[in-house]
Amino acid sequence: MTIENDFLPFCGTDTGTNLEEQAAYLADPNRLIGNQPGIASSKFNNKAIRQGTFIASQLAQYVANQTGANVLDDGVTANFFAQLSAAIEPLPTIYSFLTSGSGTYNASFVFFLSPTGSASSGATYTNNGVTYTVSATVASAGQVIMTGNGAPLVQGTLTKASGTGDATITFLAVRAPVSYKIFAVGGGGGGSGSGSGAGNGGAGGNTTFGTSLIVANGGNGGILASGVSGGSASLGGLSGISGTGNSGGVYGGGAANFAGNYGAGGGGAASATFSATGGWGGAGGNVEAVINSSLLYSYPYAAGAAGTLGTNGSGGANGAPGISGALIIEARY
């Protein structure tokens, strides 16, 4: 597809007779005061027009290249302003916090509107065969953020499918994420119970993004009278770190080193007899990675479940469960 740019340079070819030289233009008194009554100089006018259209044409071409959209000489200033904004406006990182369960992460698209649009959060619109969901309510706004699992056209119309908002919203350009920074931690393992015959803690679940693209393994469960059972991890994740257990068990037996302490292992239950003391659960593995891709907009994910606590044995106490894993996704534009 050829991108159309209607803004063209004027007098791009100098035949040597139709354009004022730069030195002469600099010294020309009319450059400061404009044309005066009388016979106008074609060389002077060609030079002035060329300078303005030279810059205008390249600015328009930059906007077209950055947005992939046609830049038209339609006389509607709001249209070009929307496209210029899409090309140069710095957009903040959009964060997503996924702390439980599994599902599908869909990318957030920023649509630049002309002139403006209104839609309520949760309303759905279609374009290019993809359904998009409004992330936050907007009223007479120049931008709207929607999530979807595929790319829209570079410019066109969003048609309402459900919810409250304008029946159609015209957009002149759209920005999609160019990369994602992913923070992932697996679920923490549960601490084991104490006392004769106590149960071991359950392993924490793996946290995944893109099925197997990014995997942060869950921590191992604590084992009765075996000290710390360290969590395993892939892609540079951290193994479990021991904590302090007491009667009944405590949270935080393993330190996950992650915002909100997600993925910490559960404490093991204490016992008067060392041979019947609960083991601490291992912390979930940690992963930090960047995905440089502007082609994929939908990824399956799962936040690792917390490891279950080990039950008490004779004369003992229950261990503590682990803490669930989590994903933090930074969409960058």
Class of residue 259 by CB neighbours under 10 A (exposed 0-12, middle 13-18, buried 19+)? exposed
How far, in Å, are 59, 185, 253, 289 from residue 54 at the CA level? 9, 53, 67, 43
Q: What is the pLDDT of residue 275?
A: 66
Q: What is the pLDDT of residue 320?
A: 84
Contact status, residue 113 vs residue 141, Cβ threshold 8 Å: yes
Helix axes 42-67, 77-88, angle to 10 degrees: 60
How confident is the model over 259-292, as pLDDT tens digits?
Answer: 456 887 777 777 766 667 777 888 888 888 999 8
How confident is the model over 284-305, as pLDDT tens digits?
Answer: 888 889 998 767 899 999 999 9
pTM: 0.82
Phi-psi region of 58 (alpha: psi -120 to 50; beta: other; left: phi over 0): alpha
pLDDT classification of 188: cutoffs 50, 70, 90: confident
Contacts of 298 (CB under 8 A, 6+ apart): 104, 105, 106, 107, 149, 150
Main-chain phi, psi angles of 224, to 5 degrees: -55, 125
